[in-house]
Structure 1
Amino acid sequence: MTDTQLVVGAAIVEGGRLLAAQRSGPPALRGGWEFPGGKVDPGEDERAALVRECAEELGVQVVLGRQVGGDWPLPSASPSASSNASPGGYVMHVWLASVVAGVPRPLEHLALRWLEPHELYDVPWLAADLPVVAAIEKLLPE
């Protein structure tokens, strides 16, 4: 992926509920909801990056399960990636994840919310995350 910046996201599921995180910035996206995660640093394994991001953003240790879908395209001005990313655009990889140590806290977000399957669309998800929510919805128990 030489022209594309990779961003990783965690679909943290516990007791059939999905964890959503409310963005604190940038201003254009403040208040929108997303999957915790962030950019993969050069030379960093994407799964290791996601584990690191969950520790930094939520204060938890996670174990990753299977990947959800493949490449999820993001807008070229993705707020999850730094400004020094390549100009070729952004793609997100998302994994199912479980918390194995700690309790999620909004260290870099405005708020966190556990969503029951019937509440998945009760928050205003960022547009790029909506197709991922739809894919995860099919994996959750009813």
Structure 2
Amino acid sequence: MSIGWIAELFLYKEELLSGEKARIRVWKAYIVAFVIIFIGVLVYISFISPMQKQHATHNKLRTISYYLLLEKERTNTFPDEILTIARRNLIDGDLTVDSWNNEILYQKTVNGEDYTLTSKGADGVLDTEDDIVIHKLLE
């Protein structure tokens, strides 16, 4: 009878250890999942998000360019400031700032026939490599 009791104790100990091993495996899976998600977030922040912001700013500058051309057709000149078209546009959101919340610079030429749109890019500094510029020459 005492041997049966010892055998039961041994089996119970093995059952406890297997439960502990299962918990360790679950924790290891949680840690691996956390590391994978953390790496994914880092990749998104470092590479994908900046590319999306650059693309969105390009699109916004093209949209502004379109509205400038509409204003030119309506008034025979480009507006003096970008707020002229931004005030009338409720659909495309704020046309005065880029994806990094930097002011979009609009400069009309002296003769009023050309313009330049400039985003300072991610660094927010004018005349650097990451600036996005659109020139418009009407022929």
Shared fold (TM-score, shorter chain, > 0.5) = no
Q: Which structure has more RCO (C-alpha within 8 Å, separation ≥ 6)? A: 1
Query: Which structure's CA Rg is the greater one?
Result: 2
Give TM-score scaled by structure 2 length. 0.23
Q: Which has the higher strand share?
A: 1
